[in-house]
Structure 1
Amino acid sequence: MAIKLSIERLTEGLYIKLPLQWTDHPFLLNHFKIKDQQQIRLIKNLGIKYVYLIPEKSDTQPLAPETPQDEISEQESRFLEAQAEKLWQEKQGRITRLKNYKRKLQSCEKNFSRSMAQLRSIMGKVKSRPVTAVKEAEMLVEEMVDALLESDNVALHLMNDNKEHEDIYCHSLNVTIMSMMLARSCGMQQEEIKAIALGALFHDMGKLKVPTAILRKTTPLTEPELNYLKLHTKYSEDLANLTTDFPSLAKPILTQHHELLDGSGYPKQLKGDEIDLKAQLVAVVNSYDNLCHPQDPAKARIPYSALSHLFKNRREQYNNDYLALLIRLLGVYPPGSVVQLSNQQLGLVISVNADNLLQPNVLLYDPSVPSNEAPIIELDESNLRIEQAIAPSKLPEKVYTYLNPRIRISYYFEKDD
């Protein structure tokens, strides 16, 4: 519980919260542990009369009331002013970067929404107008691949997506985006990336012929139901064969994305090199997204857990090179992970730092700041680290509402404008 404390009682080791907006002081965060006398002087120069003390996070007790205060020399005062100005300049730089970052996110959201709308339209034409559907899909893929290859520094971002009952579209777009980025990381050529993107986009289109009751069933499927679901790979191939325009390079992805290297997959129990390499790549991504979004939402894994599960328990089944690249793409704490930082503050990972996978960009929970203005910090530029990932279901309601962890985790990549 926070206690109101006069600034005259501040000392090193106290964990405090400033009664100011994030933009109204030069410190990186609104709450922190006081590390030296210089910080105390800077706090006193903010023109506030009190702070909030958080005793359980503090290493020491406040000074006694009426403790004599040291006089500040003119030289020290000038030094403090210079330090405060330096901190302010660094803070303004952060605020500018944050505004630019949020502008990029807004652009990313628009591209995501447009691609999702195009995908819904395409899927609606697969059965009745397959030639048109494939041509429109190729145009969508071409646009995305071109944007991907034109950008030097491509970041994967967590997207806002409030649509319900569109699992097949969200899943297909997720798998497409991540598969394209994996293919790019492998140094694949443009035509190969396009084939992977098209195959990933259509890999589950055969589910359009599977009864909705089976697709949305949350209890274990019966053997006949499971067999029906497994037919979606054949149905996808059948739909692709309705037109001669579907690229032959992409077809193995439709039929083999559930085959596993140890031969335990389906439909043909292929092993190792019998499985097309492009299908092996999409299989890794497909498995990750399915772990995050299983048919039974109660069994959904948080992104961190899904990635850990694949790495620790499924390495015999998937191409390890692609699995390692997926971890590099998503980071140790993938976008969508709710995390607790070393200062015990909570946050939501919203994008990956490719140069340091342990230090992604995190949107912070800070009730003193409106949620739509919540600061996003780059952990590699702070003294903070992630201590653990937390299941959103374990968050207090006010924290859950503020961070808005996604029930449906959707990804998209940033395009340079």
Structure 2
Amino acid sequence: MKKSCKVSVSQLQIGNFVRLPVSWKDHPFLFSSFLIKQSAQIELIKNLGIQFVIVDLERSDTPPLTAAAINPLTQPASAEINQLKKDMDDYKAEQIEVQKKLRRDIHKTEQNFNRSIAMMRNLIAKLRSRPLNAVDDAKDLVNSIVDQLLTSDNLVLHLMSDAKQDEGIYYHSLNVSILAMLLAKEFGWNRSEIELIGLSALFHDVGKLKIPSQILKKTTAWTAPELNFIKQHSLLSVELLKLAENFPQEALRIITQHHEFLDGSGYPKGLSEQELDKVSQLLAVVNEYDSLCYPSNQSKPRMPYIALGYLYKHYKTKLNQEYVGQIVKMLGIYPPGSVVELSSGQYAMVMSVNLNKLLCPKIMVYDAMIPKDQAPIVDLEHEGISIVRCLPPSALPEKVHEYLNPRERVSYYFGNDSRK
């Protein structure tokens, strides 16, 4: 059975799922693919001056009319058509403004993110030569982030751009810090606790700077001595940070323990649950999640939704399950960076998630008729479409992959939903 067919616009009827062969800006519909729900929509399609459309038979509720069944006299009143067109034009214009606003919000968030990455780069560079300054800079960064977190009750988590080559430590450290502070806020921790986990996360991996890059970037299996060396990185982090007298002692302990597991199978000391406080346990959860998304060169990165599922399924004895459940709940079923298929049959990438409305993310939709720098960003909360499933980027057709440009390194930063 054919999945789709080219039909005359005169054969369309309610229940057909159509794809319009015209540019998005040249028709009043919000999408170029949709299910026809009223006869006035058919007349609008006819008024576009096209003779044929593509009907997706699998997504249609009914097949197109046969030539014998066409009734040229059956059509809605012109007043109904004109009113529908006006309503659709108005709504589309409104949505275009909403999209422009969302793009500005994402751009502003990206600027804040890039400033934070630059601060990370500078403070880690200072750590050996001017450790006191490095720690002061880190405290300033954490304080400014916590100020924003605690003064907003309508946070949006945005997808950020890919990490630059060889800067993974900055992106990983900032990502873990941001997510850990968001989780701490969700649990109602006080400001000093949120700042403590944020500062600990910023520096938790600096010890890797003392490990030769040829070991860290090795693509073949590590030898036992190499693996043991890598497992000392949390202690190496503490060794570096002890150069700064203004670095909190409590944070040193948390950094030491960020790879410890509840069942005693972690490192470097094999501690068990009763020896690990809530801050260390929370940092371990976030660190494992981000490491699953962006692992060493010896493992393949997992998409965010797969990483969350893997964390939930395989770390039941290792990680605090309350914290695992909360990060799954906070990021939602479709975390930013997820590639999805929509009920409209289109492909999209999740760009932003309002932490209060996890099932209605904002998505960037693939539309071959629109340049990718103008790709529609749609808020699912206000549209009659839904996400059918998540997809691995490798499942996308090449032209869709190039258009959506799925991130190799998924990074998050937060902003406010200023429309609320």
Q: TM-score range by the shorter chain?
A: over 0.9
Q: 1:68 aligns with which of 67, 71, 89?
A: 71
Residue 224 (structure 1) shift: 0.9
Q: Does 1:151 align with 2:156?
A: no
Is the contact between residue 142 and residue 198 of structure 2 (CA under 8 Å) also seen in structure 1?
yes
Residue 5 (structure 1) shift: 3.5
TM-score normalised per structure 1: 0.93
Q: Secondary structure of the equivalent of 1:332?
A: coil
**What pairs with 1:107-118 in structure 2 (closer than 5 Å)?**
107-118=108-119
Residue 360 (structure 1) shift: 1.8
Is the contact between residue 197 and residue 283 of structure 2 (CA under 8 Å) also seen in structure 1?
yes
Aligned to 1:271: 272
2:10 partner amino acid: E
Aligned to 2:404: 403
Is the contact between residue 4 and residue 58 of structure 2 (CA under 8 Å) also seen in structure 1?
no
Residue 59 (structure 1) shift: 4.6
1:83 partner amino acid: L
- The 1:346–1:95 alpha-carbon spacing in structure 2 relative to 1, beyond 3 Å, is same
- The 1:26–1:316 alpha-carbon spacing in structure 2 relative to 1, beyond 3 Å, is farther
Residue 153 (structure 1) shift: 1.3
Residue deviations 1:85-125 (CA, integer Å, cap 9, x gap): 22333322222211111000000111111111111111111
Q: 1:9 aligns with which of 4, 8, 11?
A: 11
2:265 partner amino acid: S
Q: How many residues are aligned here?
A: 415
Q: Secondary structure of the equivalent of 2:158?
A: strand
Q: Secondary structure of the equivalent of 2:222?
A: coil
TM-score normalised per structure 2: 0.92
Residue deviations 1:201-238 (CA, integer Å, cap 9, x gap): 00001111111122112322221111100111111111
Residue 416 (structure 1) shift: 7.6
Q: Does 1:39 align with 2:41?
A: yes
- The 1:341–1:72 alpha-carbon spacing in structure 2 relative to 1, beyond 3 Å, is closer
Q: Secondary structure of the equivalent of 1:97?
A: helix
Q: Secondary structure of the equivalent of 1:238?
A: helix
Aligned to 2:82: 81
Q: Does 1:192 align with 2:222?
A: no
- The 1:158–1:16 alpha-carbon spacing in structure 2 relative to 1, beyond 3 Å, is same
2:192 partner amino acid: E
**What pairs with 1:209-220 in structure 2 (closer than 5 Å)?**
209-220=210-221
Q: Which runs of 5+ in 1 are unaligned?
A: none
- Percent identical among aligned pairs is 47
Aligned to 1:95: 96
Residue 288 (structure 1) shift: 0.5
Report the Cα distance in structure 1 between the residues aligned to 2:200 and 2:258, rounded to whole angstroms.
Answer: 10
Residue deviations 1:261-296 (CA, integer Å, cap 9, x gap): 111111222222311211111111100110011113
Is the contact between residue 305 and residue 335 of structure 2 (CA under 8 Å) also seen in structure 1?
yes
Report the Cα distance in structure 2 between the residues aligned to 1:112 and 1:222, rounded to whole angstroms.
Answer: 37
Q: Secondary structure of the equivalent of 2:348?
A: strand
Aligned to 1:243: 244
Aligned to 2:234: 233
My pick for the range that moved more, 29-38 or 192-201, is 29-38
Is the contact between residue 11 and residue 34 of structure 1 (CA under 8 Å) also seen in structure 2?
yes
Is the contact between residue 154 and residue 414 of structure 1 (CA under 8 Å) also seen in structure 2?
yes
2:111 partner amino acid: K
Is the contact between residue 18 and residue 34 of structure 2 (CA under 8 Å) also seen in structure 1?
yes
Is the contact between residue 155 and residue 354 of structure 2 (CA under 8 Å) also seen in structure 1?
no
Residue 47 (structure 1) shift: 4.6
Residue 258 (structure 1) shift: 0.6
**What pairs with 1:5-404 in structure 2 (closer than 5 Å)?**
5-65=7-67, 67-72=70-75, 76-296=77-297, 299-404=300-405
Residue 60 (structure 1) shift: 4.0
- The 1:376–1:253 alpha-carbon spacing in structure 2 relative to 1, beyond 3 Å, is same
Report the Cα distance in structure 2 between the residues aligned to 1:71 and 1:63, rounded to whole angstroms.
Answer: 13
Report the Cα distance in structure 2 between the residues aligned to 1:174 and 1:345, rounded to whole angstroms.
Answer: 30
Report the Cα distance in structure 1 between the residues aligned to 2:21 and 2:417, rounded to whole angstroms.
Answer: 38
- The 1:162–1:288 alpha-carbon spacing in structure 2 relative to 1, beyond 3 Å, is closer
Is the contact between residue 331 and residue 360 of structure 1 (CA under 8 Å) also seen in structure 2?
no
Is the contact between residue 220 and residue 298 of structure 2 (CA under 8 Å) also seen in structure 1?
no
- The 1:387–1:22 alpha-carbon spacing in structure 2 relative to 1, beyond 3 Å, is same
1:68 partner amino acid: N
Report the Cα distance in structure 1 between the residues aligned to 2:306 and 2:389, rounded to whole angstroms.
Answer: 11
- The 1:343–1:298 alpha-carbon spacing in structure 2 relative to 1, beyond 3 Å, is farther
Q: Which runs of 5+ in 2 are unaligned?
A: none
1:70 partner amino acid: L
Is the contact between residue 341 and residue 385 of structure 1 (CA under 8 Å) also seen in structure 2?
yes
Report the Cα distance in structure 2 between the residues aligned to 1:118 and 1:127, rounded to whole angstroms.
Answer: 16
Is the contact between residue 331 and residue 353 of structure 1 (CA under 8 Å) also seen in structure 2?
no
My pick for the range that moved more, 18-27 or 112-121, is 18-27
Residue deviations 1:166-187 (CA, integer Å, cap 9, x gap): 1111111110111111111111
- The 1:35–1:355 alpha-carbon spacing in structure 2 relative to 1, beyond 3 Å, is same
Residue 37 (structure 1) shift: 2.0
My pick for the range that moved more, 374-383 or 108-117, is 374-383
My pick for the range that moved more, 47-56 or 268-277, is 47-56
